[in-house]
Each structure stands twice: as C-alpha cells, then as structure tokens.
C-alpha cells in the first residue's frame, strides 16, 4: 500500500494528527509511564515534531519490533501506511495546529492496574535502593504468596514502581523456601546474581516476564495452577541513572475458575556456544527442534543482548513448506517482549522449529557497547551475548504432553553435553562446565563418565556445595558408600540448606539400620523444604 498525499496544507494537528498521537503514543508518553516526555497536547507534539517524523518513519516508534506479515500478533503497535504518511506530510508542511474545536478528547486510560483490580497483590516489603553509579544490577527478591487454597491464574501484571531504572523483570516460583532463606541471608532487600536459584521454576510453559511497553493480557485457555506455600521470586535488571533510586515493585495475580483446556509447554531454541570475533558483522547462530507431536503455538519470545541485529523464527512443515513465526530486522535490547499470536499456529508432528539470529560486532553497530569492538562470548552479563527463542506450545492431545516433555528433555541433555565439552576444550579448568557436564551425563544415566567430572569440579572449586553433593550422588550410585557419605557431609558443611544431601544420607542410614539418624536427616530435609517428596516418602518408611 502506498500513501497518497492529502491536499497541500490541509493537514492539521487538531483534526488529523492528534487522533494518531493520542491513540498510539500518549499511553506511554504521559506522566507516570515509561516514556521520557509527554505527548498530550499540541505544544508537546510540536516541540518533538521532527523527531516524531523520524522515529515513526523508521518504525522505531511505536515500539514494535516484529515485521508485519511474518507472524500475526495480538496488540500489535503498528501505524498504518496512511498514518505514517500523514505524520510525515504534516511535519514537512510546518506542523500546523488547526481549529481547536476539532481537537478530540484524550483517551480515558486505565490508571493503576491495567487489567483491573487483581485478586492477589504482592509487593516488596521495603524499597531496594539502587546505587547511583556502576554497572547494571541484577537483584532477586523472594516474596511469599499468601494463598489459602490453590487457584488457577490466567494473568499476571507487573508494576515496576520506578520506570526510570527498571529495565526488565523475570518472575519464577519456588516451593522450597530456599530463595527466601537466601534473601534473608544477604543484607538489605533481595540477593544478587543473574542466575536464579535452581529451585525456581516457570509453570506450564508460561512467559512470566515484563519489559517496558509490554501490555498484560488474560489467557484463560492456558491458565496455570498457583499452589499454596509458594514464593514468587522476582529478578530485576536495574540500570543506575546517576542518583540513588528507590525500587519497590508489585505484582498482581488474576484468578479464574476455569482450568486450562490444555497444558502449555515451553520450548527454548538456543545455542550457548556464541563466540563472536571483533569486527564480525554477520555472525549467525542457529538451533532447531523437531516436534514429536501435533501442537498449537500460542506465543513466542526472542532474547539476546546488544550485538544482535536480526532474528528469524520459523517452522519447516513436514512437506517442506516454510512458515514464518517471527522476524525482527532491527533488534533493540531496550525493547524486548513476548508476542502472543492472534490465532494459534497449528504445527503438525514432524515440523522443525528454527531460530536464526544474526549479530554485528563491528563499529557499524551503534548499540555495540565496546569501542573498539572486542571478542564476545556466551554469558549472562549484558556485555556477554545470548540467543534464545522461547516458544509456547500446546500439544493437541492430552497424552502427548509427556511425549513432548520426554523428547525435549533428551534433546536438551544431549545439547548440554555438547556445549559443556566445547567449553572444556577451551578451558579444561572450568569448574562450572565440569559440574554441568557431570549433571548432563547423570541425566543420560552415564554414571561412569559423570563421576570423574564431579570429582574434577570439586577439586577445582572445593567450596562449591553442589559439586560435592553431585559427587556424593555419583559415588552412591557407584556403591562407594563411604565416599558418598563423606561428600554429602561436605555439601552440608558448605550449605546447611542442601536438603537433598539430607535425603540421601537418610536413605543410606535407613539401609544401614541407623533408624534415629535416618529419621533426623529426613526431618531436617523437610524442615528446609517442606514440599520435598523424597524426604517425606522415605520418612514414612522409617520404623516407629
């Protein structure tokens, strides 16, 4: 479609431009929202007219990264060819105000919670004070959820409390209390770290995250069960702005009586072997996964850091047909989000899901944080690089969920083995890679190869409780009981909250008829994690 210019001088702000700005821009460009300046009247818009014309023509604003025609999404923030043309023409002709009587009223925006009053609100008990200087801060907060009975959730809405410094948020659940204990151990609200505790989880393939500009939505067809005795773990990416900033976020949960029609499953395409040489402007990262069942794809979420330029997500159907899921030609780290399809995308069994991301580590990339460019490898820091494409899939048949989960798990473990072996080729003394490789081999039931990896991990990093726990587990499986007991006890010395070590020691005591000690270990494990099924089941086996 091509814009056909209006009669010269006929366009006016009040009649033609205000409706475009009010409906598409002012929702964020108003006090209390994420945008840095208001666009609520002629004076506001006139002052930014040239900039508005430029950023809308480039489709930088409104902030919507997916290319039209490469996936049909709900709530797409896209200006039409007609709207873009009118903005360009109006600005080029001097940005005339027009008749005040033609000015439409401002929209009646929903203030506060966008989805209405939540059924449950949790808020940080006290504000975290972000230091004025330094690099980006990742801070995690464990918030108990006061829930008397389990409820189905069909929406979660996040309120940052301080748009100026909250870049994005990730939300997980934890039933073990270990995140809460870690929060309590560190001074001040929350605890540091980019990697959330292993005890946290995401329910039913959900994308519980927030980015500026993201609109909350209700999705009862993929609701999920929020159980009692659960903590919400909130991870914030914070960017200092030159002065101390208080951050106190809140999260609203919306309940539904409707159980999900089908269970969702999260498929993550990724390839954590990124190694981009300085000056490389066309580095490509690929991954794929073949669906073992028929499934509907309902949402998609791409993620990378500053060097990513183009993102392709597509499916190759069993007959060879290519079906686009997502295309972003100009990735921007500051405008991330997940995208929900207007209609579920049916993909039959045998469909291959693909991601193809392109990175630019040259001086031509204006978002490159390194001047001059330097080698960038995979990592969690924003100065490292990542590439992930999350896909929410709903198997067509209820009994296919387990089939999908088993197949995807096998693929993920095999990938983890390859990735960690590559890392160890580069650095044989990488203790974390040794530990992760051992865990993956354990998942493949390759106990003989897993044990020496855990031994090396424990030797390289003797204070890592997990390394000693998994070494103890491998020793126990190998029937080296004395060595296993020694490693479990070391793990508990290093981390008294290692409830799984208590469970294993309890089983060993039970096998050796040390009844009192076994009972104590199971009770200690349940004291740390009241929902640990392993300790609870084995405590029931202890003779009275």
Closest to 478 in 3D by CA, of 436, 447, 510, 445: 447
Q: Is the pLDDT of residue 137 over 80?
A: yes
pLDDT of residue 170: 93
Neighbouring CB atoms inside 10 A of 399's CB total 8
pLDDT of residue 171: 96
pLDDT band at 398 (very low <50, low <70, confident <90, very high): confident
Closest to 424 in 3D by CA, of 386, 287, 416: 416
pLDDT digits (tens, 9 = 90+) for 409-456: 999 999 999 999 999 999 999 999 999 999 999 999 999 999 999 999
Q: Is the pLDDT of residue 213 over 80?
A: no
pLDDT of residue 109: 85
Long-range Cβ contacts of 201-206 (<8 Å, 24+ apart): 201/172, 201/173, 201/174, 202/172, 202/173, 202/266, 203/173, 204/260, 204/263, 204/264, 204/265, 205/263, 205/264, 205/265, 205/266, 205/392, 205/393, 205/394, 206/264, 206/266, 206/392
pLDDT digits (tens, 9 = 90+) for 91-125: 999 999 999 999 999 998 887 898 999 999 999 99
Contacts of 195 (CB under 8 A, 6+ apart): 380
Q: Distance (Å, rounded) from C-alpha 365 to C-alpha 315?
A: 29
pLDDT digits (tens, 9 = 90+) for 322-341: 999 999 999 998 888 899 99
Q: Distance (Å, rounded) from C-alpha 225 to C-alpha 204?
A: 9
Q: Distance (Å, rounded) from C-alpha 260 to C-alpha 224?
A: 7
Q: How far is CA 233 from CA 126, 169, 263, 382, in A?
A: 15, 10, 22, 21
- Poorest-confidence range of 165-169, 491-495, 509-513? 165-169
Q: Distance (Å, rounded) from C-alpha 456 to C-alpha 465?
A: 14
pLDDT of residue 112: 83
> Residue 389 belongs to what H/E stretch?
strand 387-395
Q: Distance (Å, rounded) from C-alpha 533 to C-alpha 502?
A: 13
pLDDT of residue 169: 94
Mark 491-501 as b/e (b = at least 16 C-beta within 10 Å): bbebbebbbbb
Mean pLDDT across the chain: 94
What's the average model confidence in pLDDT over 473-498?
Answer: 96
pLDDT of residue 248: 96
Contacts of 453 (CB under 8 A, 6+ apart): 434, 435, 437, 438, 441
pLDDT of residue 333: 87
Q: The whole model's pTM is what? A: 0.88
Cis peptide before 111, with omega less than 30 degrees from 0?
A: no
Please say whether the beta carbons of 467 and 461 come within 8 A.
yes
pLDDT of residue 123: 96
Which residue has 């993620």 as its token pair? 303
Closest to 324 in 3D by CA, of 4, 111, 71: 71
pLDDT band at 462 (very low <50, low <70, confident <90, very high): very high
Q: Is the pLDDT of residue 32 over 80?
A: no
| Maximal C-alpha separation, the chain | 94
Q: Distance (Å, rounded) from C-alpha 143 to C-alpha 252?
A: 12
Q: Is the pLDDT of residue 390 over 80?
A: yes
């Amino acid at each position: 479609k091509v814009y056909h210019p209006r009669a010269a001088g006929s366009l006016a702000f009040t009649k033609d431009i205000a409706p475009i700005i009010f409906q598409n821009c002012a929702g964020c460009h108003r006090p209390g929202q994420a945008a840095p300046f208001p666009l609520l009247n002629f004076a506001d818009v006139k002052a930014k007219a040239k900039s508005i014309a430029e950023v809308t023509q480039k489709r930088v604003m409104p902030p919507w990264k997916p290319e039209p025609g490469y996936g049909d999404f709900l709530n797409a923030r896209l200006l039409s060819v007609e709207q873009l043309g009118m903005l360009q023409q109006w600005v080029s002709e001097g940005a005339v105000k027009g008749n005040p009587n033609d000015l439409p009223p401002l929209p009646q925006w929903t203030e506060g919670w966008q989805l209405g009053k939540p059924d449950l609100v949790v808020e940080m008990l006290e504000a975290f004070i972000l230091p004025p200087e330094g690099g980006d801060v990742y801070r995690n907060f464990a918030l108990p959820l006061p829930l008397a009975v389990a409820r189905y959730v069909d929406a979660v809405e996040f309120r940052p409390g301080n748009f100026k410094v909250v870049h994005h948020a990730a939300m997980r659940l934890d039933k073990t209390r270990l995140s809460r204990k870690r929060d309590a151990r560190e001074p001040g609200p929350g605890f540091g770290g980019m990697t959330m505790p292993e005890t946290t989880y995401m329910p039913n393939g959900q994308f519980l995250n927030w980015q500026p500009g993201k609109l909350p939505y209700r999705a009862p067809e993929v609701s999920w069960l929020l159980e009692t005795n659960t903590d919400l773990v909130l991870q914030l990416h914070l960017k200092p702005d030159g002065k101390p900033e208080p951050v106190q976020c809140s999260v609203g949960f919306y309940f539904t009586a409707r159980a999900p029609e089908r269970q969702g499953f999260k498929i993550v395409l990724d390839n954590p072997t990124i190694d981009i040489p300085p000056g490389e402007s066309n580095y490509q990262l690929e991954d794929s996964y073949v669906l073992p069942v028929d499934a509907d794809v309902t949402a998609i979420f791409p993620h990378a850091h500053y060097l990513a330029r183009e993102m392709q997500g597509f499916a190759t159907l069993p007959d060879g047909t290519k079906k686009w899921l997502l295309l972003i030609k100009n990735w921007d780290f500051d405008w991330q989000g997940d995208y929900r399809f207007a209609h579920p995308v049916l993909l039959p069994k045998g469909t291959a899901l693909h991601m193809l991301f392109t990175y630019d580590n040259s001086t031509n990339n204006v978002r490159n944080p390194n001047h001059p460019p330097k080698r960038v490898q995979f990592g969690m820091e924003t100065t490292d690089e990542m590439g992930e494409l999350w896909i929410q899939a709903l198997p067509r048949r209820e009994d296919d969920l387990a089939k999908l989960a088993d197949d995807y798990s096998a693929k993920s473990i095999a990938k983890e083995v390859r990735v960690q072996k590559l890392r160890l080729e580069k650095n044989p003394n990488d203790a974390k890679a040794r530990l992760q490789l051992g865990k993956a081999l354990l998942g493949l039931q390759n106990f003989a190869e897993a044990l020496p990896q855990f031994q090396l991990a424990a030797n390289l990093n003797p204070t890592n409780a997990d390394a000693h726990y998994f070494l103890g587990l491998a020793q126990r499986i190998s029937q080296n009981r004395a060595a296993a007991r020694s490693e479990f006890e070391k793990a508990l010395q290093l981390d008294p909250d290692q409830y799984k070590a208590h469970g294993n020691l309890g089983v060993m005591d039970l096998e050796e008829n040390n009844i009192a000690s076994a009972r104590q270990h199971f009770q200690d494990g349940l004291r740390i994690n009241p929902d640990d099924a392993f300790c609870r089941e084995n405590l029931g086996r202890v003779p009275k």
